[in-house]
Structures are given as structure tokens and as C-alpha cells.
Amino acid sequence: MTVPPDRVDLVELPQAADPTRRMTRRQALLALAGAGSALAAGPLVGSIVQGHPADPTHQGETPLPARRWAMVIDLRRCDGCKKCTEACQAKHYLPPEQEWIKVYTLRDRTGVEYAVPRLCMHCEDAPCVRVCPVTATFVDRDGLVLVDQDKCIGCRLCIAACPYEARYFNWTEPKVKPLLPTKATPEFPSPQQRGTVGKCVLCVHNIKYGELPYCVDACTMDALYIGDLDADVATNGTETVRLSTFLSQNNAIRLKEELNTKPRVWYIPGHGEDLEW
């Protein structure tokens, strides 16, 4: 198999029935069960903290073992189309002003524009978790930072503490709600609750059942990867790579590493981007 020059240890996923279409969310992550064992040890699958049910689309299904989730954003491919943002807002029933994955248009030192998607970094040493006075912001057993809106008192200390500006306050009642009558949970916080804080949950309600996050699935440029630090694999729904090698050989960076928040979102620059923001 010939490996593209910008991809390392790449493993081809099984082809979809229609070769012109991407694999389904479930096909992509479940296919990594085999690829993960070939690349490292174990499948790219996850689970959630016990006691919080997922959204109704997975009722009756058994979540798979816990994993250390991560995301990689390849800026060489991102064209700033914002399809990731649109998918996230639609699937989580968010108002236009809440962009859990926000795409910034920045300029480098030569004046050339480039796009940088920003989501919750799901920091391993998250300032928002430390400042929450009622433990409404917490870390699940997959290492993801979530918000229990039933506990949230709306003090907004977490918003002030987040160095990535990745949190949003719900000033009003949600105008768009799920078609099915559901109760919002930390894993699937839809609909949002007035007077509480919301943010990206990395679609944990999907990934723990072997499906891609909505943003990854929607990206037509294959710029977004969901990865598992334990299995050392990542996929964008079309291909899968050995995560550690992919990061090191492509000079991946994390935003504001000097703060020691240990974010789980990596960026691969490639156009002279200045990411000190």
C-alpha cells in the first residue's frame, strides 16, 4: 500500500457500498476496532461515567470500554466552510449564537487568511473544573470535561476561567428542542437549560457507541480526527493513522501549552499560521 507523504502509518478503512460517499459514523469508528489492534492495542471505542444515560438514539445499547479521547485538527485541510459548526448546532439544537465549535478566520504575518476551528479543549488539568463551586463541571471516566446543568447555578466562574473562550451562558430558554421528549444529560445536553453553562461535549453520546462526532462526520475536507490516546489511533472517517506518529511527524501543537492545562486537542499547522492566540 502506498502511504501519502503527509500521512504516517495510515491504514485503509473498509470501503462504503457507494465509493463516492464517506463511511457512516458507526462504520468509521467500529472499523477501527480492527485497525486499532493492528496499530497499537485495542479498539477506538469509549464509554461514559456511570449514572448518566445517553440520548435516546442509543437506548438499550451497551457502551464500550473507556478510552482517553482526543481530537486532531489538520489546518492544512481546513477551508473554513463551517460545516462542522452547522452540524454541531443542528444536532445539539443550539441557537445561532452558540457555536460550540467556532471557526475563526485569522491572518498570518504576510496577510494571508487561514481558518482555525476552536472547541472545548477537554483539558486534563481544566481550570473550569477547579473553579466550579458546586462540581457541576466535572471530568468523566473517559477524561472529557462535561457540565451537569441540573447542578449548575449559573455563576459563570468557569466561563471566566476558560482560557479558550469555549463556554457559553444560556441567557434564554431554548427555542429549538429535540423532536423526541428527552431529558438533558451531561453527555447529551439538549435542550440546554436557561441560566446554565453549555459547551462542546465531543459528542460523547456517539463516540462511546462507536460513532463519529457530528463535526468530524460533517467535515468534507477530512480535516478533523477523533482519536484515542490509549489505542494510539485516530480517524477522520475516511482514513486512520497512528496518533502519536501523526502528531510528531507533522509538528502538531496545542493552544496555550504554556498554561499547563494539557488540552486534548492538537493542531497541525501547514500554512505559516501564528497560533499564539
Which grid coordinates are listed for 1? 500500500
Between strands 102-107 and 137-139, the pairing is unpaired
Residue-number span of the structural domain to which 240 is assigned = 11-268
pLDDT at 118 over 90: yes
C-alpha cell at 73: 485538527
Banded pLDDT at 263 (limits 50, 70, 90): very high
What is the predicted pLDDT for the residue at 24?
57
Number of domains in the chain: 1
Residue 39 lies in a domain: yes
What's the pTM value of the predicted model, to 2 decimals? 0.81
- Range in 4-8, 136-140, 201-205, 221-225 with the lowest mean pLDDT: 4-8
Note the pLDDT of residue 210: 87
Say if 275 falls within a structural domain: no
CB neighbours of residue 145 within 10 Å: 26
Is the pLDDT at 241 greater than 90? The verdict is: yes
Query: Percent of the chain, pLDDT > 70?
Result: 74
The whole-number pLDDT of residue 23 equals: 55
The answer to whether residues 195 and 35 touch, using CB atoms and an 8 Å cutoff, is no
Reported confidence tier of residue 22, pLDDT bands at 50, 70, 90: low
In the predicted structure, residue 17 carries a pLDDT above the cut 90: no
276 within a domain of the structure (yes/no): no
172 within a domain of the structure (yes/no)? yes
69 found inside a domain: yes
Indicate which CATH number applies to the domain containing 160: 3.30.70.20
Q: What is the per-residue pLDDT for 272?
A: 58
Q: What is the mean pLDDT of residues 43-69?
A: 54
Q: Looking at residue 183, what is its pLDDT?
A: 81
- Domain assignment of residue 5, yes or no: no
- Asked if residue 68 lies in contact with residue 142, where contact means CB atoms within 8 angstroms, the answer is yes
Q: Summarize the confidence of residues 97-105 as an average pLDDT.
A: 95
Average confidence (pLDDT) over 102-111:
89
Give a yes or no: residue 6 inside a domain.
no
